[in-house]
Structure 1
Amino acid sequence: MTPAHEGGSMRPPREIVLTRDIAAPRALLFRLWTEPEHLMRWWGPQNMTASSVSVDLREGGAWRHCILTPEGREYWSRGRYLEIVPPERLVFTFAWENQDGKPGHSMQVTLEFHELGEKTRLVFRKVELPDDTELKLQTGGWEQALDKYTAYAEATSREG
């Protein structure tokens, strides 16, 4: 990815990179991103819950999820799976839907799962964010979502 030119100056691309070291096997961590019953338990920021999850897990397959605010406002997102390499890597597009149900600006998410002894390192990368406001909002949202994911993954691993 090359820097963008804005106003004659070089600017790094808008991307989010987050890392978590999680006390769970990577095969489980991969499943938690790809199985609806698990996604329903952690998808979304801290103050939101998943109300609908649809997954067609194949390259080119679609996904669509809805998160719900405490006040009942829905936020729908969707995308397509671009690369599926269990349990190492998952790549998909991500777009928020507008009020008419049409996808907005498309971004790309890459997840990498690396074994670290009894832990797994998750590297989350989201690229092609449209602007600095969206970058800030999504960084905070994904940090919270990954905190929920980590807690759920570790609890699920202990139970299993």
Structure 2
Amino acid sequence: MTFAYLKSPHGADPIIVEGTFPASPERVFRAFTDPEELVQWFGNKALKTAKVDLKVGGSWTFTFAEKDGERDVLQGQYEEIDPGRILVFTWRHHKETATGKGETSPASEVAIYFTEVADGTRVRLSHSMVESESTRLNICGGWDACFSDLDRILRSHDAAAAIA
């Protein structure tokens, strides 16, 4: 499988994902923090709701559509916020089965750096402290797909704005 944005070896810790997006750092930062925008590109279109309390110590929760009676929730807490420059947060995955049994992963950390470049914004994401290799393998593919969807959304928004 080929990954367009993954820069670290597949399954390595930390997971490094990088891409350049055709928008300002402030615009790309908003895509990572606005609930209405997040549901458009995060989680391979399976994200049902996103709740964001964008302040240091504030929490975020992403709930995915139920599939085969299972429910997936990602959640964490913001540790550092500098709009258009940096976003750091904890990350936990909670999975609940159809029988109601739940399991929550240990916390990991995501740090996202936004840098203005000539053709838009360079985003470097580091997802670290993921304990199991199988989870890292899944997260690698997930972030790569998210970056691809984010690029598509930002390009379509730019095209729509140019026409308007």
TM-score where L is the length of structure 2: 0.81
Contact 1:25 1:157 in 2 (8 A): no
Q: Distance in 2 between matches of 1:55 and 1:102?
A: 22
Q: Which residue of 1 aligns with 2:119?
A: 118
* Structure 2 counterpart SS, 1:97: strand
TM-fit CA distance, 1:118: 2.8
Aligned counterpart, 1:42: 41
2:51 is aligned, of 51, 54, 60, to 54
Q: Following TM superposition, by how much is the alpha carbon of 1:72 offset from its aligned partner in structure 2, in angstroms?
A: 6.7
User: What is the aligned length?
Assistant: 146
The residue matched to 2:124 in structure 1 has which SS? Answer: strand
Q: Quickly say closer, same or farther: Cα 1:143–1:72, change in 2 above 3 A.
A: farther
Whole-Å Cα distance in 2 between the matches of residues 84 and 116 of structure 1? 20
How far the C-alpha of 1:68 sits from its partner, in A, is 2.9
Question: 2:160 maps to which residue?
Answer: 159
Deviation, 1:147, is 0.8
Name the Cα RMSD after superposition: 1.9
- 1:18-69: per-residue Cα shift (whole Å, max 9, x none)? 1011111111100001111101111103xx4210110000000000001237
Aligned residues: percent identity? 24
- The corresponding residue for 2:78 is 81
Q: Which runs of 5+ in 2 are unaligned?
A: 1-11
Structure 1 CA distance for aligned equivalents of residues 68 and 102 of structure 2: 20
CA distance in 1, matches of 2:25, 2:85: 8
Q: What secondary structure does 2:43 align onto?
A: coil
Q: Which runs of 5+ in 1 are unaligned?
A: 1-12
Letter in structure 2 aligned against 1:132: E
TM-score (structure 1 length as normaliser): 0.83
Residue 144 (structure 1) shift? 0.7
Please show how residues 129-140 of structure 1 align to structure 2 within 5 Å. 129-140=130-141
